[in-house]
Chain A
Amino acid sequence: MSIFSFFKETKTNGEEKTLQQLLNKLRQSSDFITVEFAVNGHLLAIYYFDSLVDPKVLQQHILCHLQNDVPKHPTITLEDLQKIIPIQRIEVTNDVQMIEEKILKGFVAVQFQKTDNRVALINVANESLGLRPNNDSENEFSVVGPKVGFVENVGTNLHLIRRQIATPNLVFREMPLGTMSKTKVVVAYIDGITNKQTIETVIQRLENINFDIIFDNSLIDQILSDNSNSPFPLFISTERVDRAIYALASGQVVILCDGSPYVVIGPSTFFDFFTSPEDYYLPWVLGSFFRLIRFFGVMFSVLASPVYIAVLTYHYEMIPKDLLGPIIFSRSNVPFPPILEVLFLEITIELLREAGARLPTKVAQTLGIVGGIVIGQASVEAGLTSTIMLIIVSLAALASFTTPIFKMSNTIRFIRFPIILFSALWGGVGIIFAVCFLLIHLGRLQSFGNPYLVPFYPLRVRNFKDSIIRSSYSQTAERPTFLRPLALFRYNPLKAKQKDDIDE
């Protein structure tokens, strides 16, 4: 036997061939319960994990009926259990593999004779035990609009989606994932809208996943990703129900995963990450304005400190006479070149953020004040940084937080550093080198095979209506064409566009 045999697929099926072997194995755990009692000549045995089932359901709907009703039917078989037990979808099987899976998911196995290999599997899993019942979507907060968020329980999440999309075309396709966790993963899409090829790609990629335990949807996100070496998120992950439903309605696929309050939406584009559901709740002028502010924030956040470095290190001719005074004044005490100044402050802010994220909320607030005000003020007075630099870096940090999707705001904070480095090495040319690199990289990225930079490249002029600006609802009847939806219109555009003549 070679030493690498460990890596070969071990045959789990071969080990427990019979039900008896499986039961013996499960009995090693003390929370595995076997209840045996004789009723009417049947030697009934019930197997379940105490830690997984809902004891109330077990007592009221299974034990009670088995004890009271079985004696009334002398010739009862396993198949007849559905008649006396008021629980949906009772399955009878002798497939040991399936019995194992179901018991481990909180089913109760009922056996009529010890020698019989067949059992009835009844679902009494306690779905919500230990999970929070609701989520106020505080991580993607919006002032206007519903504040319902997804929770860890996939059943609840499916309910939240199904409640708002009352069409038989909404399809949930369930597949277990994870060799050890057997996590319930659900792919949701609207049949007749979502492109068939996209669905196929998603399902196929999910089927190819080989992983032990799926802790969170973000694992699926990373494994599904078209390019795992990119710092850019290729799929939106959101905890907002309205966002997921909007995605479904526009022809995207939503992936839900048990145990994760986030859902993954794909295929996504770069610009999807900068839209907030709130844009759609405000009048379109305001929605567009805030969206533009957000884009400006991203540009500023990425380019402000590099431009400062480039100008102050190499292109000081570019500073006008009037501005030169304040800059000299603020920098006269600082002994470092601009790059060190910037790195010092940027890293301070990153530390503050990281520390704030790891600490309990109440402590984090104090830390923010101490770090932000005291350290900032002190480092200027100590001559470590200049005031202008402090303003630029903190504004850049502020601007990076305007991005609604957390993953993207992380990415934006990250890509600032390479650009800072390039600008310190080659000035303005360096910044454009870095921008070029970003453009090529973004141009190469794909999300489920869809280009990432759409509608800019490939240029789709029609889809600009809802990208940089959020047009009025009379304009946005069309679904985004780059998703190649099977039905183009969301609602009747003619009705929305109808306008009466003045004074009529």
Chain B
Amino acid sequence: MSQATKERFLVSPFLVFFLITGTQVGIGMLSFQRLVMKEAGHDAWIAVILTGIIAHLLIWVMYKLFAHSPNAEDIVSIHQRYFGKWAGFVFSFALLVYFSLLAFTVLQTYIEIIKIWMFPLMGAWQFSLIFLVLTYYAVLGGFRVVTGLCFWSVVIPLLTIFPMLFFPLEYAHYRNLLPIFDHSIGEIFSGAKAMSLQYLGMEMLLVYYPFIKQPEKSLKWAQWGNAFTTLLYLSVMLIAITFYNEEQIQHITWPTLTLAKIPEVPFIERMEYIIISVYVLVVFPIICIAVWSASRIAKKLFSIKQRRFVPMVLLLLFIGTLWFEEKEQIERLNKWISTIGLYIVVFYIPALYIYVTAANKIKK
């Protein structure tokens, strides 16, 4: 079943940097400060670093998991080998559903933001349609094209959005950061738990791992990617802590967007419109990779062509967006899917790794 993936479909190891960062940084970047600061207050930045370190460990575990097999494999093959045909099928299928739902949640949440900030009267279906058509076009281009999108999704927002966020430092109160370690370890850890949702997305590595040229060499780049994500979150968090006070931030739904209202230049103001627009580029690769991963799993499970499966998923997503209209539903979905993701990344992957290691030992 595992045919060697042809060389020209593979991506260079260092592109894993963009794949990891591109999939980790998403909608959450606009609102994560509130949730983390609720738990850890002005020490939230410690929680960010802590979560970053845990994510480093988890990435290492993922690479270790793959190191057990001689050829580059994806999670489906590992499931099949260690759990047998049926149990393996169930686990892989669960991942397929998870990735599809992930794509759906990201899409739905972003459309919600567009509706609230920009076009309150416009139907959600328009955006979801154009998004899904674009996704179709990108995913049919193959993994290389999707990776290319990831690359742009890191570079372009970094050049356009990121500098904007530094303007509010003009009004920053650096004393907000003091006193450091004002919160207990428990509080910081629950902040880290809230933060961990922002690192989700890296689990898609489980599927695209065999599409990396010399995958074992890409560990370094994956770690750099994760470090870069941490750096982004950390700087945005620090800006938010120094700009807002602790009470105020609990009443702001999207603190990052509100930050962008501050900068003013002679020819333009209200930069949050630029951020929301450019955020298409941030969100879009996540949807693409999630749909690609789902279709890749489907290809291996049902031996259905990806070309066929992708339109089916996209159609389901489209019908889904017609269905979900209320904000509460979306919130609930968001919470639900991020909890699942958290369990997959933090509990399932290490457990799988321990199981695989043990199974290998027993065999010997």
Contacts and interface: CB of A to CB of B under 8 A. Distances in A.
Interface of A: 314-315, 317-320, 322-323, 426-429, 431-433, 435-437, 439-441, 443-444, 453, 456-459
10 contacts: A317-B273, A319-B268, A427-B277, A428-B276, A429-B127, A431-B277, A432-B277, A433-B130, A436-B149, A456-B151
B151 A318 contact: no
A254 B152 CA distance: 32
B145 A440 contact: yes
A435 B156 CA distance: 11
B11 interface: yes
A429 B277 contact: yes
Interface in B226-273: 264-271, 273
A253 to B, nearest CB: 20
Main secondary structure of the interface of A (DSSP, over half): helix
Contacts of A444: 141, 145
A440 B127 contact: no
A320 B268 contact: yes
Nearest to A310: B277
B115 to A, nearest CB: 11
Interface of B: 11-12, 14-15, 114, 118-119, 122, 126-127, 130-131, 134, 137-138, 141, 144-145, 148-149, 151-152, 264-271, 273-274, 276-278, 280-281, 284
Given A322-B266, A440-B141, A443-B145, 17 more contacts: A314-B119, A315-B118, A318-B269, A320-B266, A320-B267, A323-B266, A428-B277, A429-B114, A429-B118, A429-B127, A432-B280, A433-B134, A433-B280, A435-B281, A453-B148, A457-B151, A458-B15
Closest 10 CB pairs of A and B: A428-B277, A443-B148, A432-B280, A444-B141, A457-B148, A440-B138, A443-B145, A318-B270, A315-B273, A432-B277
Contacts of A314: 118-119
Contacts of A322: 266
B130 A443 contact: no
A436 B127 CA distance: 14
Contacts of A319: 268-269
B267 A323 contact: yes
A195 to B, nearest CB: 15
Contact of A459 (B14, B137, B264): B14
Nearest to B12: A458
B281 A429 contact: no
B158 to A, nearest CB: 14
Nearest to A460: B12
Contact of A315 (B14, B134, B264, B270): B270
A432 B145 contact: no
Nearest to A449: B8
A303 to B, nearest CB: 12
Contacts of A435: 281
A171 B149 CA distance: 39
Contact of B151 (A315, A431, A459): A459
B191 to A, nearest CB: 32
A428 B279 CA distance: 10
B14 A429 contact: no
A304 to B, nearest CB: 13
Contacts of A453: 148
A231 to B, nearest CB: 15
Given A320-B268, A457-B148, A427 B118 contact: yes
Contacts of B14: 459
Contacts of B273: 315, 317-318, 428
B8 to A, nearest CB: 9
A37 B322 CA distance: 91
A436 B11 CA distance: 20
Contact of A443 (B114, B149, B280, B284): B149
A398 to B, nearest CB: 20
A439 B157 CA distance: 14
A441 B134 CA distance: 10
Contacts of B152: 439, 457
B125 to A, nearest CB: 13
B335 to A, nearest CB: 26
Contacts of A315: 118, 270, 273
Contacts of B278: 432
